[in-house]
Structures are given as structure tokens and as C-alpha cells.
Structure 1
Amino acid sequence: MDTTNIQAPILRREGVNASESFLKRLCDRSFLSLWSYSGVYRDQLDCPTAKIGKEVCDLLVIFQDHIIIFSDKDCDYPGGDDEQVNWQRWFKRAVRKSAEQIWGGERWIKAHPQRLFLDPACTQRFPFPLPDPTTATFHRIVVAHGASNACKRFFGGGSGSLMMDTTVVGSAHVAKDGKPFTIGQIDPAKGYIHVFDDTSLEIIMSTLDTVTDFVSYLTKKERFMTSGKAIFVTGEEELLAFYRKDINSGGEHDFIVPADMDGLCIQEGMWEEYLSSPQRRSQVRADSVSYLWDGLIEQFNTHILSGTQYYTSHPGIEFSEQTMRFLVREPRTRRRMLAQVLLTMLETTSSTQRRTVVVQPSCLGDPHYVFLLLPHLSGVSYEDYREGRRYVLEDCCLITKLMYPEALDIVGIATEATPIRTEHRSEDAMYFDARNWTEEMQKEARDIQQDTGLLTNLTKHASTVREYPYQPKGAQHTSHVPSTPQMKGRDRNKLCFCGSGKKFKRCCGK
């Protein structure tokens, strides 16, 4: 094993109680372990008598230019006879107090982004640089446990999810004539607070279980709920169903209402209707393959965090995080396509064959992916094989730039040319910033391609991945994802993937 530049392990904390541990598990599943950290602390250099640091928030997620601050409170709901008083007391402890923690944490991060730590003793700094706090997008989330059962009793049923009303602002939450179990804007001057409860937390994070899908919802929800319209929603899950039903002009889910509409009421039932729809059921089935992509990312993350990478070209976690960032920012539907390409390669490639696939971007800003399967030939030591595979992957990235001059970001992923269920498998990941492309690099890539035959005979192949595979007439939920496969050796005698019925070498492989 080459231990060059391997960093010390990153020790991530568990939540201090059951609700915080549950939140951490949800975040690890949705945002993956490299970007979510439970119990982040700040030092107290301005307080010489302090023995340990002060907690900034219960959980912090940092991804690209998004900073998500969670505050988690599990407070028993009061059992008095006056429901108005019960609500006021619970709201102050579970929601308002958490909101204050979030606003305080946001102020600290903006003022001292370099003074965040992963342990109370403040000995382990946050593992990679934060985005510029002056331009970053902050998302503030209160997770308030304890009121769902009381909410069901008060309304005589329902999901137990807290209602939302944009006309409830500030002190109106605890007014004598207020609305129990209803959340509006806690304090508009300090930044919008999302409030999830026992019911809505897992629904939101299980449905929007990639960081891109999640922050897109938070961003558009905040814009929608602070638009000045009078909006009443019977629960967060109903708002999510309303969000998922429409697509904006940019091809993204959004809250779409007529511009001249002053108010909107979203009643119960939309979420159950969404869950039982054939579109949603077909989506869930189709998405099952996409979690192979999540598993691949976590395989890399495990070694990055534990300091057990086989090889890394740069010390520390920062460079590895930048590479993994391209993989994790893929939304669920595109992960489905990427995972299926890899799975098909593994299922259809002989253990003695080399195979490469280049996946082109589906929209501006996406990277070009290079997937490489390389056989481990007998008589070659494992160390020599891993080193050679790394060099071949690097060559593939260079040649991809040669073949696609418009490529700016190229991500290479390599593994053994063995069946998917092989017990012992290793993976390599590589990022190539192709912006500073020189004539010397152009010549080197051309020479390598001529000498090795890598990425020759490429033919563009466009495929369509639908978010909802069940597609009723008139629906617009599609995402066009082009990919460029290459077949080598005996694969060229197989039937072409385009469906022509001809052999690959007689069709797209000409």
C-alpha cells in the first residue's frame, strides 16, 4: 500500500441523545458522511476561564456554497387543560430556543469560520474550509420533537405534522388568541427558519435524500413562504407534495402559482395521493439502482475519513472532498442513470477485458465522467495493478479532454473488471481540472491515444432518463442524459446498444 500523503483519521461524533442520533443517521443517509457533522463546537478564546468549547449547533452540513444548520430539541408536551398555554410553553422551549441557537451559530460562522471544531475540547478543527460566509446560502432548520401526539388529539386525527401559516409572525405564535400547532415566520429579520417535527422530518429527508434535491426544496420553500402571499398548509408533507407536482421552466420542481394569487390553502390529502400515484411508485422502483451510487461515494468517504486511502496525490481531506463533491451533488434521478451505466458495465464485461465509458453532462456545470474497468491479470502483483490502473485512468481523463474540448471538469472512476458481487473490490477516483489545457498536454493525450487505443471509435449516444418512468400523456418530467459508451475486443461483436439489431462494430462502432 502506498501511504503517500495519507491524512490522520477524522473522528465524527454521534448525537448526545436518541433524537440527535436519529437526526445524524438521517443526515448521513441523505448527505453522506463527509459533509454532515454532529455536535460542532467553537472555541472560547475570549473567555479565559472556560474549560471547553461551546456548542454551535446540533448538526452542521457543509456542501459547496450551502451551509445547513440544525438545532434539535426533544421536549415533552405539557399536559395541562389549557391547550393555548400548553402550546405557548412547548413552542418557547422547542422552537424559539432552537431558533435562537441557530441564529447564534450563524453569526459565529459568519464571523469566525476558521474557529469550528468537531470535539468539545476544540482539538480537531472542522476538516475542510467553509465556503465564503458572506456569499454562502444558509439554511436554518429546527427539529422539534414532542408535539405530534398532542397535535393529533387536538385535531381529532391527522398526521400530527405541524401546520404552516405565513400570516403568523413573531410573537403571534404565543398570543392568547393564537393558533396552536401552527408555525409561521419566527423572526423575519433574523432569517427564515424551517421547522420539522416528528412526522415531517423523516418524510422530507427520505423523499429528498440527496443534498442537491434537499437544498433545492429548502431554497424554493423559503422563497415561496416569504413571498408576501397568505399561505396556509396543513402539514410539511402536504407542502412537499405540492412542490413535487409541478416543474418550472428550468426543468426543476417548484412552487408554481398564478402571479396574481394573493393567498393559497393546501389541504390534507395531497401527500397520500402522491404516495399512491403510479408515477411515485414507478419512481421508487426505478430509483433502487441509484443507491449503488450512494454506496460508491460512502466507500470512498469511509477511507477518506479514516485515513485509509490506498493512495492520494494531496495530503489532508480538502482535495479528496473536492473530488467527491462532484459525485454527491448529483440528484437522485441522475444517480439512477450513472449507477445503471456502471452496473451494466460490470454485468456485461469479461474479467479479461478492458472497458471504458464516457458519460457526458446533461446540463451546464456537470462533469464529464470516465468509467474504467481494468482486468487484474495473473502474474501481476496487486500493488503493480493498482498503480497501473491509476495511470490508465489518468490517461483516460486526458484523452477525454482531447475528444471533448469543451470539457472543464473530468471525473474518473476505475475498478476491477469483475462481476458486481465480487467480494474483494477496490475503486479509484480522480478529478482532472481541464481548464488549463496546453498544447503540450494536447500532444501528450494524442500520443497516448495512438499508442494505447484508449477511447477510440467513440460514438455519441443520447438516452432519456425520466424522473417518473410511468409517464401519462402530457407529463413533462424528463431529464435528458447523454452518454458515450465504448466497447473493446469481443464486446464489439455483441448486438449494438442502440437497438438496431446489428453488431456493435457494424453499427455505432464503425
Structure 2
Amino acid sequence: MFKGSGGLTDSEKYLKWLCDKSFLSLWSHANVFRQSGSELCDLLVIFGDEIIIFSDKYCQFPDSGNLDQDWNRWFRRAVASSAKQLWGAENWIRNHPERIYLDNKCQHKLSVPIEITENTNFHLVLVSHGASNKCAQLSGGSGSLIFFNEIKGFDNHSFPFHIGDLDVNKTFIHVLDDNTLNILLNNRDTVADFSIYLKKRKKFLRSGITVFSAGEEELLAHYLKFLNIEGEHDFVLPNNLESDSAIAFDEGLWINFQGSSQRLAQLQADRKSYIWDDLIEEFSRHAIAGTQHYVSEGGFLDSEKAIRFLAQTTRLERRLLSNNLLDIIETTPSNMRRLRVIIPTNPDNIYYVLLLFPCYELKDKYSYEDYRESRRYFLQTCCMITRLKYPDANYVIGIAMESGYHFTKRSEDLICFDCNNWNEGLERSAREDQEQLGILVSPSRFEFNEKEYPD
């Protein structure tokens, strides 16, 4: 499979590295093209219905001695021109999703075709480098661009270091800078968390409430601190705030939030969640390289869909999944089999099946190929029986690996079963397998409760 660009400029390379780390390499594409010699955007993230388009530009901030003039020049080059590129890229993708290429000669298309539907969400992110040092020098603080949503349209962006809504009649553009790019991608570092944040940010900033924020990080601090009535992070406001009121997020909110005991406990607890990221990237690496041990008839596209289920989880969900995986690995001897089904806590009804399957000493008549085939068949059987036991399941995602905590050469299998394909024949077969193998006949039930901010 063709490997796309890793970025051309230093800032693009860094953006690609950040996005690979946050959104993982299977879905992040740097320097994609619409036609030979015509770049579409600096970085494109395609993840199911979520399409994130990045523009990344460094423009040195002028130093003529006239701050207003210097700002206007920098804004036109670093922000206005990039915004036009983003809107143009969005329009191209909407109208020509099949004409997007990974190389300058337009010989290699995206490995996963884009399907534009009524559920497709476009997120436009403009990263403008070059003004932070000057902003910090003159205004103090972190140097983050100041956000004020009463500024509307290019022509009204005349006050230095203040950013608003670039065009109220077009798709909202989220403007980040050197400082806030790092903060946002390191703290909303899954596709789910990042895209949800952008959706709620856009809704909030176009809600009619006047919003002033000393920097993107101050907005993020408020968002992470509060939950709405559905238990989701959101820009929760005082009950007495009218729709035409004003609210300010002053400098210092982010620093205070980062130093709080709950936040420090969260960051400590989240460390284990990156085991899930490593697992996703391992599956992705083999899918991209074509080195998977087994591939279903759909080939790469089947693999991408299965891996995408693993990657559509939030950071908190990954912590729960990782802790379950670690628990069975640490408590299962190398000669024992262990099965755990993780029941969903949200309405998507995606069930996870974790299987540890012992790899006994291989003999002449039982090869490693035989072991992998047996394990894969058993995992598939467990997924079918899971659907039998939990008929509300929409998808069952199965992961299998060797038993034993100290197994030095661990391998992984991944299965995605779409329960819409369930029929009487599958149910009859699953019931027979359950009776014969005794799988999930009377499973032990226990709870793993994960608080985002541990006590």
C-alpha cells in the first residue's frame, strides 16, 4: 500500500506527528492533492462520518513598528488565505470525494474511499504559526490568540491577536496557534474526543451568547471541568445566563485546572489507556503493510472497519478497555484460557470480547499456523455466542492473544461481527456451540467502574 507524505515543512511534519499520535496513522494523511501539482490541504483525517481538514501555515510576524499594520498583514497571509483554502478543500471533498490523491502525481488514491452522506461532519481547523511570541511579548501570558466571537468576517479582524468567526455564512473554522495546537491535540487525543469538542465548540460560539476567551486553553479548561445533563463534557453555563448574555473565560483557568488534584489523578489513571492506542496502531501497521496473519474476503477495507471500531472510543472508554485487558493478562496463567465480555455503557450496543488462548508447546503435527487458526475459530465462536446471549448487540468486536503475562512474542487477532447479519442459521449454530463448549452458560459478572476524575 502506498505510504503518503509525512509533511513537507517542519510545522507540517509536527502536525502529522501529532495527528498520528492522536488519531493514529491509518486515518491521517498529510499533503493530499486534488490534481497534479494542486494540493488539497495540509492534512486530512478521514474517520467514517468525521472529516477533519487541517491547514497549517507559518508566517513570520512583521516588525515594522506599526502593530495594527503588522497584524493586518499577518492575518491576511496566515489566517485569511488559509481559511479560503479550507473552504475550498471542503467544497472539493463534498463534490469530488473520489478525486483525492496521496501523491503529487495523483497516481495513488486514498486507501479508504470517502462516502459523503447526510451524517458526514466536516471540521475545519486552521493552525497559524508565527504570532505567539509577539503576542506574549506585548500582552503577556501564554501568547495564545484571543477569541472574541463578536468579531465577524475578515474585514473586522483589525484588533491585534483577536480572532472571531471568520465567516458566519460558511462552515465554522477553528483557529489554533503554536501553543493551543499542542494543548488541544494532547488533551482531546482521540478522534471521538476531538470531533465532539469541535462540534460543541462551534455550537457554543455560534449560540448567540457573546464569548470572550483569553485563549483556546481557557475554553478547554471550562469544557473539561463541567458535564451537561447527559453526563457529557460541554460548555455548561450558569442557569440564569440568557441567550443574548456575555461570558468571559479569563487567563489562568487552564493553569488552575491542570494543577487540581482531580486533574492530576485523571492524568495518572489515563496512562494505562494508551495500551489501547498501541493495540490499534499495531493492527493498523499490519493492515497498511499487508502483513496480517489472516485477512477476510473484504481485504483492507474489512480490516479498516474493524480497527475503526477500536479507535472510535473515547479516552475514558479506552481506559476501561485497557484495564480489563490488563486484568485478564495479569491473572491468567499461560496454560489457561480466559474469556471476558465487556457490556456497553452507551447506546451504541457494541460488545467487546477479549480472549486469551494458550499457546502450548508446538509439535510436529501442531504448527503455529494450526494454533492461529484454532484461536481465530474459537474467537469467532465466542463472538457468535455473545450475540446469542445479548440480542441487543449491534456489533461484537473480538480480540484474541496468547495467555500468560510474560509471553514475549504476543500476537493479536481481531474480528468485527455485524449483528445485522444475524439469522436463524447463525443462531442455531451458536446455540449448538454454546452447549458443546459451555461458553457463557453461567458467566461470572463483575463491574469495572471508571471515574474520569478518580477520587
TM-score normalised to structure 2 length: 0.96
- How far the C-alpha of 1:186 sits from its partner, in A, is 0.9
Conservation of the 8 A alpha-carbon contact between 2:227 and 2:234: yes
The answer on 1:305 being equivalent to 2:284 is no
Conservation of the 8 A alpha-carbon contact between 2:33 and 2:104: yes
Aligned residue number for residue 239 of structure 1? 219
Question: Pick from 357, 363, 368: which aligns with 2:346?
Answer: 363
Q: What RMSD, in angstroms, separates the aligned Cα atoms of the two structures?
A: 1.3
Conservation of the 8 A alpha-carbon contact between 1:73 and 1:145: yes
- How far the C-alpha of 1:133 sits from its partner, in A, is 5.1
- How far the C-alpha of 1:173 sits from its partner, in A, is 4.0
The answer on 1:117 being equivalent to 2:101 is yes
Question: Pick from 297, 311, 319: which aligns with 1:314?
Answer: 297
Structure 1 portions without partners, runs of 5+ = 1-8, 44-51, 471-510
In structure 1, distance between residues paired with 2:344 and 2:418: 15
In structure 2, distance between residues paired with 1:223 and 1:366: 27
The answer on 1:19 being equivalent to 2:4 is no
Conservation of the 8 A alpha-carbon contact between 2:213 and 2:248: yes
- How far the C-alpha of 1:443 sits from its partner, in A, is 1.5
Deviations 1:96-115 (A, max 9, x none): 11101100101100110011
In structure 2, distance between residues paired with 1:215 and 1:366: 21
In structure 2, distance between residues paired with 1:17 and 1:171: 26
Number of aligned positions between the proteins: 449
Conservation of the 8 A alpha-carbon contact between 1:213 and 1:332: yes
- How far the C-alpha of 1:159 sits from its partner, in A, is 0.2
Deviations 1:246-300 (A, max 9, x none): 1011110001124515111111110001000001000000001000000000000
In structure 2, distance between residues paired with 1:154 and 1:367: 51
- How far the C-alpha of 1:135 sits from its partner, in A, is 3.8
The answer on 1:462 being equivalent to 2:454 is no
Aligned residue number for residue 43 of structure 2? 59
Aligned residue number for residue 263 of structure 1? 246
Residue 235 of structure 2 aligns to which amino acid in structure 1? F
The answer on 1:329 being equivalent to 2:321 is no
Aligned residue number for residue 185 of structure 1? 165
Question: Pick from 127, 130, 134: which aligns with 1:146?
Answer: 130
Residue 297 of structure 2 aligns to which amino acid in structure 1? H
Secondary structure, aligned partner of 2:91: helix
Aligned residue number for residue 206 of structure 1? 186
Aligned residue number for residue 154 of structure 2? 171
What is the correspondence of 1:78-117 to structure 2 with a 5 Å cutoff? 78-117=62-101
Aligned residue number for residue 389 of structure 1? 375
- How far the C-alpha of 1:53 sits from its partner, in A, is 4.1
Aligned residue number for residue 413 of structure 2? 428
Deviations 1:376-428 (A, max 9, x none): 11223111101111100000011101111111200000000121x53311100
- How far the C-alpha of 1:229 sits from its partner, in A, is 1.6
Residue 332 of structure 1 aligns to which amino acid in structure 2? R
Deviations 1:60-108 (A, max 9, x none): 0111211100000011110110000111011111111110110010110
Deviations 1:163-194 (A, max 9, x none): 000111113444xxx31000001111121110
The answer on 1:36 being equivalent to 2:22 is no
Aligned residue number for residue 442 of structure 1? 427
In structure 2, distance between residues paired with 1:367 and 1:53: 43
Structure 2 portions without partners, runs of 5+ = none
Percentage identity across aligned positions? 45
- How far the C-alpha of 1:325 sits from its partner, in A, is 1.3
Aligned residue number for residue 229 of structure 2? 249
- Is the alpha carbon distance of 1:369 and 1:135 closer, same or farther for their aligned partners in structure 2, counting shifts above 3 Å? closer
Larger CA deviation: 403-412 vs 288-297: 403-412
Residue 178 of structure 2 aligns to which amino acid in structure 1? D
In structure 2, distance between residues paired with 1:330 and 1:122: 33
Aligned residue number for residue 330 of structure 2? 347
Residue 356 of structure 1 aligns to which amino acid in structure 2? L
- How far the C-alpha of 1:317 sits from its partner, in A, is 2.3
In structure 2, distance between residues paired with 1:409 and 1:401: 8
Residue 252 of structure 1 aligns to which amino acid in structure 2? E
In structure 1, distance between residues paired with 2:49 and 2:154: 32
Aligned residue number for residue 405 of structure 1? 391
Residue 125 of structure 1 aligns to which amino acid in structure 2? K
